[in-house]
Amino acid sequence: MLGHRPYLLVVVLIAATLPYRTLGQRAETYCFTDDPDPYIKFGTKTAYTLANGEFTHEDLVPAGCEARQAWHLVRHGTRYPSEDDIAVFLVLLPTLQDAILLAHQDGQGELCEGDLKLLADWSLGDLNVSWANVLTSQGHLELEGLATRYKEAIPLLLDQPFTNESFKFRHTATQRTEASARSYAQGLFGSDVYMPSPIDPDPLLKFYKVCNDYVTEVADNPEATIESQLYQEGEKMATVVDNVSLRLGIPLGFEEIEVLYDACRYYKAWDPTAAAAWCVAFTSDDLKVMEYWEDLYYYYTNGYAYPINYEMACPPVQDLIQHFSFCSSINSRSSSSSSNNNNSTSEVVESGEGPSGVFYFTHVDALVPVMTRLGLYKDPEPLTHDHEDPDRLWRSSSHGIFATNLAFTLSSCGADEWWVSLAMSEQVVALGGCASPLGCTWEEFMATYGFLEQCDLDAICNNAST
């Protein structure tokens, strides 16, 4: 099963007998179980509850206005690893656990008593490959809580009985997005609701799967990940590998460090209130290196590094604009706002003013490009392997977490006055070109983002040319 990683076992087997460098007396060694505030920014595998904000009515709807439509794009919640990653966990983690405990008995390693005990008490439990990519119980809670809080913030709009016309759900063709959508429905309605069968691949929610230029320039292009590769091969990562090896008392390579990092952050996400045993391997400095390594990867494959990464992300924004335009134009009974909207899709046009809520459930590869399309988290300088800004805006630990979500709320503020707010994982985000940090007038919003109502994905992606 682990045929592609034979070196892992070899390394562990020789570890116990290896004459190991004796440690000098260290002034202070890191003790995870004594750390009252361990580092928990775990990139795209950060549990939602460790990084989210909390919706408030005031944030979403200005005084004197009334919420009229909600449009919510949501990443699935915390999941189990892929089949391959679970298979590696099953073989490697118990072996490393034994080797680390043995090494400490032999006087190697630096783990404090509490950390050793936490690691000794760890076990795989029932983890098995049939759980691959499945939404965890924590993931269900994340989505249910998210929906509940959105409803509490705008009850007039969302605290209504379900009908097919008033609430639109859509998820991709995976268990984790469907289960996320159904947990969200539980949070809103206390019951399951009708959801259409997924489209596979979905050009709205998985545009990155139907975009030729993205596939050739980025997804299938090894050059696109060269910066994270260079960082991986650089000095800082070498220090992490040395530090972790020294701390655990066994010599490890980057591949094992990567598995341990996943073990640390997945277990933390599955049970965010508990101490995750495998996190004993890392200090906060080590974790910041791992975090930047992943941030680089997403910056180049989903972020500002390649224009196609955000150019292809217009379908969801177009859908948002069409819904909000329709809702506001029907209500305004006025031809002034966006009456030139002659290419709206038939899906948008519903009875009355359109649905109260539009809820989409997809993946990080859709969420992050949409954020990039909106101009969010853009640093003045590009991220590279040798330019690491600790205060950078681009941070998957904040905008790429499990259940990361973009909640747009359209409010009516009197005669022909409309307001758009955006909350990212329940924290209000200032949108480009808008005077207020809390949101935009409809005119401001359209002045900045209105051009995205035109979105010809086949042309953008050169899809016809194959």
**Site residues for ligand NAG per CB under 6 A:** 163-164, 194, 236, 239-240, 243, 283, 285-286, 289
- By beta-carbon proximity to ligand NAG, the closer residue of 283 and 409 is 283
Distance, in Å, from the CA atom of 92 to the CA atom of 74, rounded to the nearest integer, reads: 33
- By beta-carbon proximity to ligand NAG, the closer residue of 195 and 440 is 195
CB of 158 to ligand NAG, least distance (A): 17
CA 73 centroid distance within chain = 12
- By beta-carbon proximity to ligand NAG, the closer residue of 130 and 239 is 239
Task: Say which DSSP state 24 is in.
Answer: P
Long-range CB contact pairs, 10-15, < 8 A, 24+: 11/250, 11/251, 11/252, 11/253, 11/256, 12/92, 12/95, 12/96, 12/99, 12/250, 15/99, 15/103, 15/249, 15/250, 15/251
Q: How many CB atoms lie within 10 A of CB 148?
A: 17
CB of 243 to ligand NAG, least distance (A): 4
- By beta-carbon proximity to ligand NAG, the closer residue of 21 and 274 is 21
Return the residue matching tokens 């499945």.
134
Of 286, 297, 310, 282, residue with least CA distance to 222: 297
CB of 237 to ligand NAG, least distance (A): 8
CB of 236 to ligand NAG, least distance (A): 6
Distance, in Å, from the CA atom of 296 to the CA atom of 302, rounded to the nearest integer, reads: 10
* Residue 159 φ/ψ, nearest 5 degrees: -90, 70
- By beta-carbon proximity to ligand NAG, the closer residue of 128 and 239 is 239
Q: CB burial class (10 A; 0-12, 13-18, 19+) of residue 107?
A: exposed
CB of 164 to ligand NAG, least distance (A): 4
CB of 255 to ligand NAG, least distance (A): 18
* Residue 405 φ/ψ, nearest 5 degrees: -150, 150
CB of 10 to ligand NAG, least distance (A): 25
- By beta-carbon proximity to ligand NAG, the closer residue of 168 and 373 is 168
Distance, in Å, from the CA atom of 48 to the CA atom of 41, rounded to the nearest integer, reads: 11
Contact 96, 124 (CB under 8 A): no
- By beta-carbon proximity to ligand NAG, the closer residue of 252 and 317 is 252
